[in-house]
Chain A
Amino acid sequence: MGATRTPSNITQGSKAKGGIGESTLRPDGTLKVTGEFAYSSDMWHEDMLWGFTLRSPHAHAEIKSIDTSQALAQAGVYAVLTYDDLPTEVKNYGLEIQDTPVLAHGRVRHHGEPVALVAADHPETARRAAAKIKVEYVPLPVVHDEATAIAEDAPLLHPGRTDHHAGHVPHPNIVHRQPIHRGDVAAARARADVIVSGEYEVGMQDQAFLGPESGLAVPGEDGGVDLYIATQWLHSDLRQIAPVLGLPPEKVRMTLSGVGGAFGGREDLSMQIHACLLALRTGKPVKIVYNRFESFFGHVHRHPAKLWYEHGATRDGKLTHMKCRIVLDGGAYASASPAVVGNASSLSVGPYVVDNVEIEAIALYTNNPPCGAMRGFGAVQACFAYEAQMDKLAAGLGMDPVEFRQLNAMSQGTVMPTGQVVDSPAPVAELLRRVKAMPLPPQKQWETAGQSADVRALPGGLSNTTHGEGVVRGVGYAVGIKNVGFSEGFDDYSTARVRLEVVGGEPVAVVHTAMAEVGQGGVTVHAQIARTELGVTQVTIHPADTQVGSAGSTSASRQTYVTGGAVKHTCEAVREKVLELGRARFGSYHPAWATAELLLEGGKVVTDGGEVLADLADVLEGEAIDLELEWRHRPTEPFDLRTGQGNGHVQYSFAAHRAVVEVDTELGLVKVVELACAQDVGKALNPLSVVGQIQGGTTQGLGLAVMEEIVVSPEGKVRNPSFTDYLIPTILDTPTIPVDVLELADEHAPYGLRGIGEAPTLSSTPAVVAAIRAATGLALNRVPVRPEHLTGQQYSGG
């Protein structure tokens, strides 16, 4: 190919307006802000029915019987389905392990598990009918932590497991276990001058996306079904839906509808199969929309974790070794637990050079709510623990916490505990330097002219709890490492279809992928890539559906890299076709057709010297070039199940934070004043979106630090399934977030870019907690930090 451009000359040479590197605005932005955007919950179809899901009130129980007769007898009810109505032998689904029942069969394993479905002509009718379904439960003992999971008489969540992890786990209530060994910990430990250890805990965070689970299934005349759905990965849904319905995949036609946020919570199925079952049973379109309460039961959450860490360092501040054990609570079904284990273990050392490690991570099966993907995916939990350890070590050595981290920071060429060499820029020390160099916000910002206090700048805000009394400032730092893309040997590819034609004299590109736009700005970036590669102004983004090949998941910070890579790759192939056509048609008129490097710019074929050779319209002569191609990133390898060795990750992503907090030490209330972030993004395809992602991730990390937690009782019951009591940061809790973006190209990635969506979520949490520790002198080994943790009044239960 004569016209392949490298990242460097793209950056300098792109003349396309609205191409990569520009902050073009999102097409959905204004609509969302003004309330006009159509979300999946806004869909409507003539004659449609409403589906409702009856859920288990118990965390663990045997189902003795289900009597649906009264529900079926209610006027307006069209169908009531239970396990017995499932049409095929495939009754379970799951991302990696098919262990999740479409509807409960004889047993429920968590609070809120779907037991029966109702379709009725009105949502209220469906709800009332569901209340008339009589389910006889016999409660079973509840598995709620590691001790109860592996106790001698522990009930097995999934007896007779046959999945690919069943053979190597030490107990059937352990989903997956990944050890990693490298170096000689005993010898290194003997060399250590300072050894610190700690036990840390991370609460169950929720994705708290604002658009609840919803979708519309429309039965087709061919016996198939059209499903309009808010999801993160259409083809993964399809793979799980079609077998349960007993339909070939081509008869389950899926179209992405407006997605109101995801953050991992839509990687698993929610109401997809249910809506299709009801639609196929009734022959009518069926819409299901969860309300907020149900949404808390309708998706997986972030794994709560317990982490034990030991680190050693020499007097001159060099890390000697690290030992850790990470226990993740996967809840009742596997979901993404195995991959979360892979991440937690392989990233447990953080962005540091540690040659001697003993690592173990496991995920449990329990009767708690199922946990799976959430922004940061296993790396968040580890980062909270290892960053606390770094501060402890620095304190133990009498060193500055930033300098200590810089002294041990990894860089390009570092060997990970998995044996993988970090083969692209890893500017960990530089990111720390940058956040530290930013000017600190002024002291006592609440003091205004005169004697009055501006309470908005104080902990408690307008709640008027302090005018400065008891308030102490703290500053804390943290840095983290996240993998980008699917790891451990997964065939992580994306497909893009690109069509180039001239319409009404103007060249137009249509980009068609199955990428789920969940708010990350993927559609914006795809148009930018097409403009840059094809030199056109007009780019249409085709709605995402399953009429084109898979785009993989909108998760793992991977979409700009992988689907963006696929769009770039397909555009290059389209461009090559244009040039072929051009050579065939006009090659004899100008020698440059054969000799020069040719580009598409401004609707024309030009030489790299800028000479115009032909108009696209003349080259295409009414033809359209239409290609659909797959693109994959470099392959990865699984981690060895005993040693954890393997080139498991594609790319790493780094961010560092400095948190400045004011703590009301008497009331235990915290105001995060500023959360400065520095992140390496490789190449900012859309700088505005990059800053938006960093600020959003930072805020989500703040939420985990000081407020966000799903509280589950020892009986496995969710105690706060609402936004009244599951608190997420409001704009008044969101600090100033200065962002410093570094662009060090990764030569393996399209345009040199680095996936960015998750890294800022990691280091935000430990930076905030470090700042609170600095203000209070407390150990704070658990997030979210609650007022009681700062003032010492625990719950009477302990």
Chain B
Amino acid sequence: MDFLRPASWEEALAAKAEHPTAVPIAGGTDVMVEINFDHRRPDALLDLNRIGELREWEVGEETVRLGACVPYTRIIESLRAELPGLALAAHTVGSPQIRNRGSVGGNLGAASPAGDSHPALLAAGAEVEAVSVRGTRMIPVEEFYTGVKRNCLEPDELIRAVHIKKADGPQQFSKVGTRNAMVIAVCAFGIALHPGTRTVRTGIGSAAPTPIRATAAEEFLNSALAEAGLWDSGQIIPPAVARQFAELVSGAANPIDDVRGSAAYRRHALGVMARRTLGWAWEEYRGNERSARCA
């Protein structure tokens, strides 16, 4: 197995163009597991760890440009205000060791439906900056996932950064696992309120072949909130609306039975998470700060 260690981003792009089958390695928390399990025996690894810029981020006017290799720990420590949904999701990833190494770029590269950053990215709104020697593409995150553990990167492309909308309202993330830490999601749900556009966006993880938005649920809630004038009045969301929203989220999922959980449970749990997270986010919007303390 070759081990390619480009010293700069340009070298990395050149190496990827020359060795399209080389597997990029960032934190290695997915790649090494795959090799260990013998699921994958790449003929070359392309190590991104010498490229300092991939571990940097910039907070702009409207978006945060998050370098592909920024570890979860940094997101939790430094970007909680700008990216609260992603920070909550990051907090649920693996263990401290995994959070010190694992990155959003790696989560996108792996494109597992169970990846925890996806629901948060979908809900916040994000674009993936995919680059090759041929140029740069900005891919809306909902178009990025193409199948179970597949994404739309070309063989010569690398993820340079993810551009994530800065939070303009409350965000929540919730994940069901069968233990209280270090667990792959049985299913997960992200929600972001966007008071600026008076819209709500969602993300569902681990309950369909790819991470998805619950579009029908979003549309229903957007019009229900608008019709009742709730964005302005700040009144509570009627329970019937919350219930309907939860049902539509459940309905958006297309889960399977596996050792981690039954399809029926996943649908059920998504509905519960959708109702609860909407409640928490809305309470916060109304000014009753009820965010959970995560130490």
- Cα A519 to Cα B288 with chains together (Å): 51
Q: Which of B180, B186, B261 contacts A733 (CB 8 A)?
A: B180
Q: Chain A interface secondary structure, helix, strand, loop or mixed?
A: loop
A671 near B: Cβ within 8 Å? yes
Q: Which residue of B lies closest to A461 (CB)?
A: B180
Asked whether, in the complex, the Cβ of B276 is within 8 Å of the Cβ of A453, the reply is no
Q: Which of A465, A706, A719, A720 has the most CB of B within 10 A?
A: A465
Asked whether, in the complex, the Cβ of B262 is within 8 Å of the Cβ of A794, the reply is yes
Q: Which residue of B lies closest to A466 (CB)?
A: B276
Scan A727-757; emit 1 where CB is below 8 A from any B CB, else 0: 1011111000000000000000000000000
- Cα A787 to Cα B264 with chains together (Å): 11
Contacts of A727 in B (CB 8 A): 178-179, 183
Q: A464-B92, A720-B259 are in contact. Are A730 and B37 (CB under 8 A)?
A: no
Asked whether, in the complex, the Cβ of B178 is within 8 Å of the Cβ of A460, the reply is no
Q: Which of A452, A720, A797 has the most CB of B within 10 A?
A: A452
Cβ distance A130 to chain B, nearest Cβ, rounded Å: 11
A397 near B: Cβ within 8 Å? no
Scan A430-474; emit 1 where CB is below 8 A from any B CB, else 0: 000000000000000000100111111001111111110110000
Cβ distance A28 to chain B, nearest Cβ, rounded Å: 23
Scan B269-288; emit 1 where CB is below 8 A from any A CB, else 0: 10011001000100000001
Scan B11-44; emit 1 where CB is below 8 A from any A CB, else 0: 0000000000000000000000100111000000
Contacts of B184 in A (CB 8 A): 724-725
Q: At the interface with chain B, which of A258-266, A377-385, A662-670?
A: A662-670
Contacts of A44 in B (CB 8 A): none
A589 near B: Cβ within 8 Å? no
Give residues of chain B (174-200) contacting chain A, Cβ–Cβ below 8 Å: 174-184, 186
Give residues of chain B (27-65) contacting chain A, Cβ–Cβ below 8 Å: 33, 36-38
Contacts of A796 in B (CB 8 A): 257, 262-264
Contacts of A453 in B (CB 8 A): 290, 292-293
Q: List 26 A-B contacts (CB under 8 A).
A: A448-B293, A453-B292, A460-B175, A462-B91, A463-B92, A463-B176, A463-B177, A463-B183, A464-B174, A464-B292, A465-B175, A465-B273, A465-B276, A467-B292, A470-B272, A724-B33, A725-B184, A730-B182, A733-B180, A786-B261, A787-B269, A788-B265, A791-B268, A793-B264, A793-B268, A796-B257
Cβ distance B73 to chain A, nearest Cβ, rounded Å: 14
Q: Which residue of B lies closest to A292 (CB)?
A: B36
Q: Which of A452, A465, A469, A711 contacts B176 (CB 8 A)?
A: A465
Asked whether, in the complex, the Cβ of A795 is within 8 Å of the Cβ of B180, the reply is no
Q: Which of B174, B177, B265, B276 contacts A791 (CB 8 A)?
A: B265
Binding site for A on B (CB under 8 A): 33, 36-38, 88, 91-92, 95, 172-184, 186, 257, 259-265, 267-269, 272-273, 276, 280, 288-295
A127 near B: Cβ within 8 Å? yes
Asked whether, in the complex, the Cβ of B175 is within 8 Å of the Cβ of A464, the reply is yes
- Cα A461 to Cα B175 with chains together (Å): 10
Q: Which residue of B lies closest to A726 (CB)?
A: B259
Contacts of B174 in A (CB 8 A): 460, 463-465
Q: Which residue of B lies closest to A293 (CB)?
A: B37
Contacts of B280 in A (CB 8 A): 467
Q: Which of B36, B172, B180, B264 contacts A460 (CB 8 A)?
A: B180
A518 near B: Cβ within 8 Å? no
Q: Which of B179, B257, B269, B272 contacts A797 (CB 8 A)?
A: B257
Q: A464-B172, A720-B259 are in contact. Are A787 and B179 (CB under 8 A)?
A: no
- Cα A727 to Cα B180 with chains together (Å): 11
Contacts of B92 in A (CB 8 A): 462-464
Q: Which of A461, A470, A668 contacts B181 (CB 8 A)?
A: A461
Cβ distance B112 to chain A, nearest Cβ, rounded Å: 11
* Inter-chain pairs besides A460-B174, A706-B178, A787-B261, 10 sampled, C-beta below 8 Å: A453-B290, A453-B292, A461-B181, A464-B91, A467-B290, A706-B179, A725-B260, A727-B178, A791-B269, A796-B264
**What 8 A-B pairs are tightest by C-beta distance, nearest first?**
A793-B264, A461-B180, A732-B181, A793-B265, A463-B175, A795-B262, A788-B265, A452-B293
- Cα A707 to Cα B173 with chains together (Å): 23
- Cα A724 to Cα B183 with chains together (Å): 7
Contacts of B267 in A (CB 8 A): 793
Contacts of A459 in B (CB 8 A): 180
Contacts of B183 in A (CB 8 A): 463, 727
- Cα A451 to Cα B88 with chains together (Å): 18
Q: Which residue of B lies closest to A456 (CB)?
A: B295
- Cα A454 to Cα B291 with chains together (Å): 10
- Cα A557 to Cα B155 with chains together (Å): 57
Cβ distance A33 to chain B, nearest Cβ, rounded Å: 15
Q: Which of B179, B288, B291 contacts A729 (CB 8 A)?
A: B179
Cβ distance A116 to chain B, nearest Cβ, rounded Å: 17
Asked whether, in the complex, the Cβ of A671 is within 8 Å of the Cβ of B176, the reply is no
Contacts of A797 in B (CB 8 A): 257
Contacts of A722 in B (CB 8 A): 37
Cβ distance B159 to chain A, nearest Cβ, rounded Å: 24
A291 near B: Cβ within 8 Å? yes
Scan A653-693; emit 1 where CB is below 8 A from any B CB, else 0: 00000000000001111010000000000000000000000
Contacts of B180 in A (CB 8 A): 459-463, 669, 671, 730, 732-733
Asked whether, in the complex, the Cβ of B178 is within 8 Å of the Cβ of A786, the reply is yes
Asked whether, in the complex, the Cβ of B292 is within 8 Å of the Cβ of A460, the reply is no
Scan A766-798; emit 1 where CB is below 8 A from any B CB, else 0: 000000000000000000001110010111110
Asked whether, in the complex, the Cβ of B179 is within 8 Å of the Cβ of A455, the reply is no
Asked whether, in the complex, the Cβ of B259 is within 8 Å of the Cβ of A725, the reply is yes
Q: A707-B178, A727-B179 are in contact. Are A462 and B257 (CB under 8 A)?
A: no
Q: Which residue of A lies closest to B264 (CB)?
A: A793
Cβ distance A663 to chain B, nearest Cβ, rounded Å: 13
Contacts of A794 in B (CB 8 A): 262, 264
Contacts of B88 in A (CB 8 A): 464
- Cα A662 to Cα B178 with chains together (Å): 14
Q: Which of A452, A465, A733 contacts B291 (CB 8 A)?
A: A452
- Cα A456 to Cα B280 with chains together (Å): 17
- Cα A66 to Cα B289 with chains together (Å): 68
Cβ distance A664 to chain B, nearest Cβ, rounded Å: 9
Cβ distance A456 to chain B, nearest Cβ, rounded Å: 7
Cβ distance A732 to chain B, nearest Cβ, rounded Å: 4
- Cα A104 to Cα B109 with chains together (Å): 42
Q: A291-B36, A453-B293, A793-B264 are in contact. Are A669 and B176 (CB under 8 A)?
A: yes
- Cα A205 to Cα B261 with chains together (Å): 18
Cβ distance A193 to chain B, nearest Cβ, rounded Å: 40
Contacts of B182 in A (CB 8 A): 730, 732
Q: A463-B92, A463-B175, A463-B176 are in contact. Are A455 and B264 (CB under 8 A)?
A: no
- Cα A797 to Cα B257 with chains together (Å): 9
Scan A161-175; emit 1 where CB is below 8 A from any B CB, else 0: 000000000000000
Contacts of B294 in A (CB 8 A): 455, 462, 464
Asked whether, in the complex, the Cβ of B181 is within 8 Å of the Cβ of A788, the reply is no
- Cα A719 to Cα B257 with chains together (Å): 13
